[in-house]
C-alpha cells in the first residue's frame, strides 16, 4: 500500500511545507495539494514543497481543465518536475460546477474536455506540438513521463481514468465505494488494451488520534459535508436512511453545524470517513486494499492535532 496526504493551501504555506516535510520523514510517498480558485495558488505551494523536500512525490490533487489551458498546466507541472528533480505527479479532475458558476466559466462536456486536456498535456510534456500549434519550448520535464491521475467519481469519469490515466483519486473512504468503482476502472483499462500499472487512490476523509472518540468527533463535520453532497444511490450503497443527505444539507445550509454534526452518527461517519486510533485504522485500510485500493490518501481533517496525527499515521505506514 502506498500512502499519500492531502493539504488544502489555505493556512500559511510555510506551515504546509513543514507538515509535508514531517509527512516525508514518517514515510508518506505522495502529497496532493488541492486546487480551488479561492485558496492559495496550487503551483506556488508545490514549488515551495518541492524545494524543501527530497523524496516525496507531489502534485495538484486535483486541478481541472477549465481554469487553466492544458499548455499552462503542462508548463506548470514541468516546472515543478524540474524544481523537485523528477518527483512531480499531476492530478486533474472535472472540477465542480459551483466553482465554474462563480467564475462565469461554462462547464461543458467534462468527460471529453478532460480527455482532450490530458492528450494535449501528454503531447506537450513529450516535447511535441499540439494540433493547435502549442509547444513547450523553454521548459522540459525531468521525468520521461509525469504520471497523470484523474480525480473521478462518476461512472464515465472512472472508466475514462482507467483508459487514459496512470491512476485515479476517488473522493471516497469506504470499501463499498471501491467495490462499485473497480469494474468501471477495469473496463477503461480493457478499452486501453488490457493490463497496465494503475494506481487506485482512496482520497479519504481521515481523522486519526490516540483517543478514538476525539478522532471521530473531529471528522463529523467533514462527513456531514460529504454526506450532504452524496446522491441517493450512494446513501443506499451504505445502508443509510433515505433523505439523510437533505436533512444534513438543510442544517449546513442555514449554518446549523451543531445540528448537522448531530445527524452524523457512526454509520454516516463510517460511510464517509476513516477515523479512530492507529489500531482501528489498520483493518480499515486493509479493507480498502481488499477492494483494489493501492494508495491510501489521508485527506482533511487528518486529525484534531495534524502534527500528532501525521506521526500516528507514520506508525500505521510502518505496519504495512
Ligand atoms: C463531471 C462529473 O464527474 P465526477 O467524477 O463525478 O466529478 C466529481 C469530482 O470528481 C470532481 O468534481 C473533482 O474535480 C472534485 N475534486 C476536486 N475538485 C476541485 O475543484 N479541486 C480539488 O482540489 C479537487 C480534489 C479532488 C480530489 C479527489 C477527487 O476524487 C475529486 C476532487 C460527472 O457528473 N460525471 C458523470 C457524467 C459525465 C458527463 O457529464 N458526461 C457528459 C457526456 C460525456 C462528455 O463529457 O463528452 C454529459 O453527460 O454531458 C460520469 O462520470 O458518469
How confident is the model over 252-287, as pLDDT tens digits? 999 999 999 999 999 999 999 999 999 999 999 999
In a domain, 242, yes or no: no
In a domain, 45, yes or no: yes
In a domain, 35, yes or no: yes
Indicate the Cα dihedral angle 247, 252, 254, 258, nearest 10°: 90
299 lines ligand 1 (CB under 6 A): no
Atom in ligand 1 nearest the alpha carbon of residue 94: 14
CATH code, 94: 3.20.20.30
In a domain, 284, yes or no: yes
In a domain, 228, yes or no: no
Does the structure show a pLDDT above 90 at 99? no
Q: What is the residue range of 61's domain?
A: 2-211+276-318
The total of structural domains in the chain comes to: 1
Give the Cα separation of 60 and 88 in Å (integer). Answer: 9
Candidate from 31-35, 85-89, 137-141, 273-277 with smallest mean pLDDT: 137-141
In a domain, 236, yes or no: no
In a domain, 294, yes or no: yes
Ligand 1 centroid to 277 CA: how many Å?
32
Look up residue 255 and give its three cell numbers.
449554518
User: What ipTM, to 2 d.p.?
Assistant: 0.95
Ligand 1 centroid to 63 CA: how many Å?
11
109 lines ligand 1 (CB under 6 A): yes
Which of 58, 157, 165, 183 to mutate to test ligand 1, by most ligand atoms within 8 A of the CB atom?
A: 157
173 lines ligand 1 (CB under 6 A): no
Q: Which residue has the higher pLDDT, 48 or 98?
A: 48
78 lines ligand 1 (CB under 6 A): no
Ligand 1 centroid to 261 CA: how many Å?
26
| Whole-prediction pTM | 0.96
In a domain, 264, yes or no: no
93 lines ligand 1 (CB under 6 A): yes
Per-residue model confidence as pLDDT tens digits over 199-238: 999 999 999 999 999 999 999 999 999 999 999 999 999 9
Which of 6, 10, 109, 111 to mutate to test ligand 1, by most ligand atoms within 8 A of the CB atom?
A: 111
Amino acid at each position: 500500500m502506498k500512502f499519500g496526504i492531502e493539504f488544502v493551501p489555505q493556512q500559511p504555506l510555510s506551515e504546509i511545507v513543514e507538515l509535508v516535510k514531517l509527512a516525508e520523514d514518517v514515510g508518506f510517498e505522495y502529497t496532493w495539494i488541492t486546487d480551488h480558485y479561492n485558496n492559495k495558488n496550487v503551483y506556488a505551494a508545490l514549488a515551495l514543497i518541492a524545494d524543501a523536500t527530497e523524496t516525496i512525490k507531489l502534485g495538484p490533487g486535483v486541478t481541472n481543465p477549465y481554469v487553466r489551458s492544458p499548455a499552462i498546466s503542462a508548463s506548470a507541472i514541468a516546472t515543478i518536475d524540474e524544481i523537485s528533480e523528477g518527483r512531480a505527479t499531476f492530478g486533474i479532475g472535472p472540477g465542480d460546477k459551483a466553482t465554474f458558476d462563480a467564475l462565469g466559466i461554462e462547464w461543458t462536456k467534462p468527460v471529453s474536455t478532460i480527455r482532450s486536456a490530458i492528450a494535449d498535456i501528454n503531447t506537450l510534456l513529450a516535447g511535441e506540438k499540439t494540433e493547435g500549434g502549442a509547444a513547450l519550448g523553454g521548459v522540459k520535464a525531468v521525468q520521461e513521463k509525469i504520471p497523470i491521475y484523474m480525480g473521478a467519481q462518476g461512472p464515465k469519469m472512472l472508466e475514462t481514468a482507467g483508459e487514459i490515466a496512470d491512476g485515479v483519486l476517488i473522493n471516497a473512504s469506504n470499501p463499498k465505494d471501491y467495490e462499485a468503482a473497480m469494474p468501471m476502472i477495469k473496463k477503461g483499462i480493457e478499452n486501453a488494451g488490457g493490463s497496465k500499472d494503475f494506481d487506485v487512490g482512496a482520497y479519504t476523509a481521515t481523522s486519526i488520534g490516540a483517543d478514538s472518540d476525539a478522532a471521530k468527533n473531529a471528522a463529523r463535520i467533514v462527513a456531514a459535508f460529504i454526506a450532504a453532497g452524496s446522491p441517493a444511490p450512494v446513501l443506499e450503497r451504505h445502508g443509510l436512511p433515505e433523505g439523510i443527505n437533505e436533512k444534513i444539507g438543510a442544517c449546513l445550509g442555514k449554518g446549523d453545524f451543531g445540528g448537522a454534526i448531530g445527524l452524523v452518527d457512526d454509520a454516516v461517519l463510517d460511510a464517509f470517513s476513516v477515523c479512530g486510533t492507529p489500531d482501528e485504522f489498520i483493518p480499515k485500510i486493509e479493507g480498502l486494499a481488499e477492494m483494489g485500493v493501492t494508495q491510501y490518501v489521508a485527506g482533511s481533517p487528518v486529525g484534531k492535532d495534524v502534527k500528532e496525527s501525521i506521526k500516528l499515521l507514520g506508525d500505521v505506514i510502518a505496519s504495512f
